[in-house]
Structure 1
């Protein structure tokens, strides 16, 4: 398959084909090879050798997530990595990686002179693995890389990456296997920060839906909502184009269907495949567009109130959709004008089986409740005025197609808190 089908029937055919591993098409702006399908991680060493013949993985660092005992597939995946060479297996120390937690893994990688990184886990593991692969062959610390300023010396951050990088997601939601960013949580400054470099694109992403079955309820629900938010936000983002929309728009329906199907039967392999497909499609889309206001809102919610990232993104997704539907020529940020935004939102509403933005808002709130998660009204401990002050400082806030002031954001948050 060389092109992503545009018709829903063709997407369904792709999902049916995912009973076995296959290569997915990717947009032109993503250099990562993507192998998708049930059982794709079973012979990980063979997939790496076949797809990355020019890369060396004689001394791979294998980075895994926590709670290893709950992952029945992990031993087989590690064994496959050991068949590549002398593997150094390390368990990631924490979720929401900090500069310090990333630096610990980077120091280990340098000490063992690794020539490749295989990151097997959720978004935190993948982001850590990406940062380590980018920096392993150099001398810069994670903190120094985070402080890198754009300009003539920016290439010194990593240049062409000398360390191979394979991403194996075990959750369906972060999309980190297909992007050029790595999230870093600065707890001292109470800020979400990010490394952003073309060298953070993995060489290969191996997306096996079966690995997601062991994810706890709280994890797959939040991660699935993250995929949904990425799909919706990528569709209306100022940088969206015809190519990114071919991935983001189908991902909206797939994310909702996948979440509801997994909720009905967490062990259903077909349901997990749908949700994983939504996640990788959304990741491929945001690699070119980035996210917008709901993601900007999520960052201080996660840092200050401990709300899981995907849940935090979903809390304002419906309200921002309605806000964007009221765009005019006076407040439109997208040079294609309000008509373009209206067309995109019609497509998004269609994917949500909603007749209009108000119905889409209700649909998204109802999904939260079906997943057993509170809406913003159920989180009365949040200071929405202080929250708005944090949100407007993130660049994702300005990627929205309709200009939003701090006052408008505060009003939106107040309205959602009282619905």
Structure 2
């Protein structure tokens, strides 16, 4: 590994990991991501003059959303939050646009090496987390920390894009990636990892093997209750959605959809405004969580991104969720049809990041200040959506 590749690997790992450390200490991803972005700003300051006008348009639009949201806010003591968040998000997006440009001009060999390095480091982080060997300081107060990440789901969201890129780089790598993803899902245990495993499996399996794959997965699922080392209750409590299921993750997820419905109906589909989630009235699941756990859990982030976006942007949030879903389907078809060595790198990165955002949107998210989500916005703003090679041909 040459010196330049070491610097790039350390830089991206710092970008992915440091915000989580700040989150554990201060309860916010935005501060950590903003600090890292400032460091990159110093490093790439001269390149800011070449910022794409489409990125500046996106930045201006986000600032307008922040200003507009101050008109909708109920608690006037919190009036600065939308503006400050919008400014921070704009600065982060501008810096990320420079980083994305630098990645996209990287030759394929260096890019492959970068993906391999980060994936192997994530393997070490994952297995240390499985055996709980890195918990210290503030992490000792957390339920299932995976240092530097606060929980397995946060680690899974960072792991997903690089594991998928590593798998696509050489299909033979799937014999390493797929079992390890499933091992992480069972060992932590963590439903997000299991969802990621299924996505990876569906991308990898040829069409003629899809039925066999589904049959195999079904058989494994039927055997799970008889395998004592698997926490079967953990998974059933998260996939059975009914009022009698008092699992905290289940209730928080249902509360997220409930909050979206309440915000849509009470705001006439306009939403509550940027960073105003939490000001909508409470519902059955919110009150139930407060009654059982004596706190407003995930009141301001909904636990998954679709909930927050729909609450804050109303019908525009619904349209955005539909757009990401449609793009995710196209991404899936593209990745199945293309060969990594032949496919356009921009389209491959966009497809992988889109699938990662889909997971954050509907299963487990970490707010707008997620590297996956910001890279997705940057690529959309740069009009990197068209899958220029194999998707159209298929």
TM-score by length of structure 1 reads 0.28
Structure having greater relative contact order (Cα 8 Å, sep ≥ 6):
2
Determine which structure has the larger helix proportion and give its number. 2
